[in-house]
Structure 1
């Protein structure tokens, strides 16, 4: 177990305006991956997305409100945190200072990058950088905000996700409104655009996940039930789309709304969650030799690793908003049924097998530390 025997924890975000409990802390069973709720903190409105610091000492949360904010929480058993995990009351994150306005509307996602927290602000279509202090707390105000522009005629910019690439040199921001992914650096604390990958108009890209080898990425679209396989060049800081494939063959746009994508640590499997149909799709990562047409559900050319759909399984609830893999288990936050379901992953096929669930009203995000 990490940190001198301290049990692993899961942290679950929720929409408080829909009755959610705030940020829930749950214990993770070391062998069966089972979740046991320890308690919740409810001081931040709509903490819909969470991120852990690399050292595991601090949890960061957006406040997905019209005003838009981000906050830092010290975790139990760390310097300045509450208690040592001996009791449920001492096992809750403790907010480290006031929430910081991000000068953006409706932040939906955040990440740690180059000594800053970056937020993707869906309502205003922008990316914000807030400096992180040495103790993990946040500066009182952002160091920079970059507004997205250039819609393709469908709607205005809608920044939905931001995350670092595997090399740590770049941050990528997925914009559902402009059907594009932008690559950023930071210049004097302000997000600075470096390159942009433009996608099919109306596809509505939502979330991207990198393969652990650092050379490819999988981009999930919300407005069409598809997944784009991309080539990532960390040296140049560029993404290139290779192929777009269905996550639910035969299901038309408008009936299914993909939400989250995850890649196994060994790079053999990719999972996606789709709302409406309320299923998880399981893909195997494969090589397709040059000139081999193969299965029409395989994406890839010139031996570029592609994907083959293995199966779909029920998500264990209604409206799966997010999913995460950890230590051979998959955790799914089901927003409308108000629960988090966990699955054991078959190591040979990547197929998730449902093992249990816990109630969390308006669940929106799960991170595991």
Structure 2
């Protein structure tokens, strides 16, 4: 069986934009990398069920940076460019789609702004709301120049959650059908934790929050009725005796909600955690990324494989996954993918 994935990239070296990558599940191999959409630093991409692709975009206008989203129609290859939503300043760091309310979210790490867009009938966007994070920044050098929202996506109960690495804060917003945001609560992480991404275990009513700067996971109880997070426990994603730089990156939860995976940039690995009966985590394995600076990774359709991209070494790694033990086994390495950042299954 052939499965297809979108790959978001930086374009500092050889990459030219958004790529498609195939996984042949019978041959157990990655193949047929293809440039499908030209864009500047499309580090994250999200596809709607209508096969519109929303890609981060960075360009210049009169010698000044402009950034935002580029909208593609994925019905043909290369993708047809439909629209650009760019404003003065750096590009966002994350994009996600809300199918039920036909909304798109971005988090701008550089400007501290979370933006909500409304999807129009033709798939293009109009701005529905923005919020500017203005809280106190954390103690790490990477935090001290301001708020840095790195993630904005839905909770299981359809609120919007945003992880602010700069403030060590997770923001929770109520979200209207029109895309208007109302702040519900804030959760303060440990100083210097640097929250980056979050996933939710609906069986256990907990969330798993990855901290880039602290190289850790915080297990949070999520009270949906109150709209609040509370800390349960914190674990490391790397050995405690690792003293060289590391930044935890992506976090994924298996669909059976039994295993959590985290990529580490520096220690260059994927850490595997088992979900215990109470929702807490136990580290059960670490496997090398087979490259430098692993960013995102993702499951294939039946979660028997994981695809990971290493940004600095321009390669992708394929692992098989044992659903019972949760552990990964290297299948393929050194498949060329330029400056890979994001891995997203094609819908």
TM-score above 0.5: yes
- Whether the 8 Å CA contact 2:95–2:105 is kept in 1: the answer is yes
Deviation of the 1:226 alpha carbon: 1.0
Q: Find out whether 1:39 has 2:26 as its counterpart.
A: no
Q: Residue 214 and residue 133 in structure 1: after superposition, are their counterparts in 2 closer, same or farther (change >3 A)?
A: farther
Separation of aligned partners in 2, 1:102 and 1:185: 26
Q: Cα deviations across residues 54-90 of structure 1 (Å, max 9, x unaligned)?
A: x262222112564221122222xxxxx22xxxxxxx4
Partner residue of 1:59? 53
Separation of aligned partners in 2, 1:153 and 1:318: 27
SS at match of 1:99: strand
Partner residue of 1:323? 297
- Whether the 8 Å CA contact 2:276–2:282 is kept in 1: the answer is yes
Residue of 127, 131, 148 corresponding to 1:146: 131
Deviation of the 1:333 alpha carbon: 1.3
Partner residue of 2:107? 120
Q: Residue 230 and residue 31 in structure 1: after superposition, are their counterparts in 2 closer, same or farther (change >3 A)?
A: farther
SS at match of 2:83: coil
- Whether the 8 Å CA contact 1:224–1:252 is kept in 2: the answer is no
- Whether the 8 Å CA contact 2:96–2:152 is kept in 1: the answer is yes
Deviation of the 1:101 alpha carbon: 2.0
Partner residue of 2:62? none
Unmatched segments (≥5 aa) in structure 1: 2-6, 76-80, 83-89, 288-303
Q: Cα deviations across residues 131-162 of structure 1 (Å, max 9, x unaligned)?
A: 11133x222x4222110011245321001011
Deviation of the 1:93 alpha carbon: 2.8
- Whether the 8 Å CA contact 2:138–2:168 is kept in 1: the answer is no
- Whether the 8 Å CA contact 2:22–2:33 is kept in 1: the answer is yes
Residue of 337, 340, 347 corresponding to 1:363: 340
Deviation of the 1:355 alpha carbon: 1.2
Residue of 89, 99, 107 corresponding to 2:92: 107
Q: Residue 212 and residue 24 in structure 1: after superposition, are their counterparts in 2 closer, same or farther (change >3 A)?
A: farther
Q: Residue 274 and residue 56 in structure 1: after superposition, are their counterparts in 2 closer, same or farther (change >3 A)?
A: farther
Note the 1:191-270 alignment, pairs <5 A: 191-213=181-203, 215-252=205-242, 255-270=245-260
- Whether the 8 Å CA contact 1:270–1:283 is kept in 2: the answer is yes
**Alpha carbon RMSD of aligned pairs, Å?**
2.1
Partner residue of 2:330? 354
Deviation of the 1:270 alpha carbon: 0.7
SS at match of 1:16: coil
Separation of aligned partners in 1, 2:127 and 2:306: 34
Deviation of the 1:316 alpha carbon: 1.9
Unmatched segments (≥5 aa) in structure 2: 60-64
- Whether the 8 Å CA contact 1:107–1:122 is kept in 2: the answer is yes
Separation of aligned partners in 2, 1:21 and 1:101: 18
- Whether the 8 Å CA contact 1:263–1:269 is kept in 2: the answer is yes
- Whether the 8 Å CA contact 1:21–1:360 is kept in 2: the answer is no
Partner residue of 2:17? 22
Q: Residue 186 and residue 70 in structure 1: after superposition, are their counterparts in 2 closer, same or farther (change >3 A)?
A: same
Separation of aligned partners in 1, 2:116 and 2:87: 8
Note the 1:119-198 alignment, pairs <5 A: 119-135=106-122, 137-139=123-125, 141-154=126-139, 155=144, 156-167=146-157, 169-187=158-176, 188-198=178-188
Q: How many residues align?
A: 330
Q: Cα deviations across residues 150-189 of structure 1 (Å, max 9, x unaligned)?
A: 124532100101111123x211110000001111233553
SS at match of 2:12: helix
Residue of 279, 289, 295 corresponding to 1:305: 279
- Whether the 8 Å CA contact 1:164–1:170 is kept in 2: the answer is yes
After TM superposition, the runs of 4+ consecutive aligned structure 1 residues lying more than 4 A away are none
Q: Residue 363 and residue 40 in structure 1: after superposition, are their counterparts in 2 closer, same or farther (change >3 A)?
A: same
- Whether the 8 Å CA contact 1:330–1:343 is kept in 2: the answer is yes
